[in-house]
Amino acid sequence: MKSFPTVTIVGLGLMGGSLALALKKSGYEGTILGVDTAGGNLAEALAAKAIDSAAASLEEAIVEEGLIVVAAPLRAYPAIFRELARAAGGRRVVVTDVGSVKTCVHQLAETVLPDGAVFIGGHPMAGSERGGFAAARAELFQEACYFLTPAACHEQESLRTLQALVRRLGASPVLITPEEHDRVAARVSHVPHLLAALLASSLSAAEVPFTGSGFRDTTRIAAGEPQLWQDILLHNREEILSGLAGLESALHQVKAALRSGDQPGLAVFLQQAKLVRDGLSPGDKQPLATASPPGADRLADFSRSPGNAAKRGVVSTTPPGYSL
């Protein structure tokens, strides 16, 4: 199986740093280059031997037939993609990312990247409320579902090579359309983050001393970096609003059951929730891993794609640094 001669990681925070560490641990024999406007992350990555060298710019880090991984906050994408387009200079490269929203990123890539650049969106379903290279770890992607969102017209060799690299990380590649990715991500990641934030913000100072492990576990993800999550929520707002509407309906039903003292109804509701939660054990990831179609080179055919791409904007602001 062909492999990328170089992997250039733009942003060496939690996700980019973990990817570099995982590649090194896997025995990857190519060159890993790091680009990050936060000098501290670069220094830590070099010291940890997670990358082979640090590049001062993207132009220095682009190699023919190499892979470029954008591991930066969504708000940095426009500037990074424009810089990539300038720096590529007609060289053939494969570009991917680890961002939590895909439709707007594909729109950006189609608009900005040159013809020689093949873009395949990526999103590992793994992370932490902590950030920076100090939080990075080689095991972050172990047994994780790793979404890949290639355009239907892409040649299959680049996709197969990227799938092989994902497996090196210990993750399971799952092919999906950008629109369906955003629908799924809203329900399993973005809406839960909002709910954790709502629950955390509902607590009064007088109640804080009485919280236990249940409250802390339920609200852990609310400790994520606010600006990063603001970007995610706004750029997938249509799907998130749809997910919230479903929850509002369910909440009304639960409130009605409580008012009426509907013991059987509450029992069924709680039992169904328990069955779902019991099936989420860390080692039970196979259902996600097999969510892709039988052919490794085929895109999933999802009938429920909402087609809200036209309603989604593309990030237009740039932060001081690339790090996630």
Query: Where does residue 83 rank: exposed (0-12), middle (13-18), buried (19+ CB within 10 A)?
Result: middle
Query: Which element (helix H / strand E) includes 227?
Result: helix 226-235
Q: Where are the beta strands (DSSP E) in the chain?
A: 6-10, 31-35, 53-54, 67-70, 93-97, 117-124, 145-150, 172-175
| Average pLDDT of the segment spanning 86-93 | 88
More confident position, 131 or 5: 5
| Average pLDDT of the segment spanning 147-170 | 89
Across 48-57, 266-275, 277-286, least confident range: 277-286
Can you give the pLDDT at residue 282? 57
Give me the amino acid identity at 219. Answer: T
Helix, coil or strand: residue 26: helix
Average model confidence (pLDDT) for the chain? 85
Query: pLDDT at residue 320 above 60?
Result: no
CA separation, residue 35 to residues 3, 13, 65, 78, 137 (Å): 21, 11, 18, 16, 18
CA separation, residue 100 to residues 39, 148, 236, 308 (Å): 25, 11, 9, 16
The model's pLDDT over 216-225, given as tens digits with 9 standing for 90+, comes to 999 999 998 8
Domains recognised in the chain with CATH numbers? 6-177+290-311 (3.40.50.720), 182-286 (1.10.3660.10)
Pair type for strands 93-97 and 67-70: parallel
Can you give the pLDDT at residue 312? 38
Helix, coil or strand: residue 322: coil
The model's pLDDT over 299-311, given as tens digits with 9 standing for 90+, comes to 333 223 333 333 3
The model's pLDDT over 171-218, given as tens digits with 9 standing for 90+, comes to 999 999 999 999 999 999 999 999 999 999 999 999 999 999 999 999
Can you give the pLDDT at residue 309? 35
DSSP state of 296: T
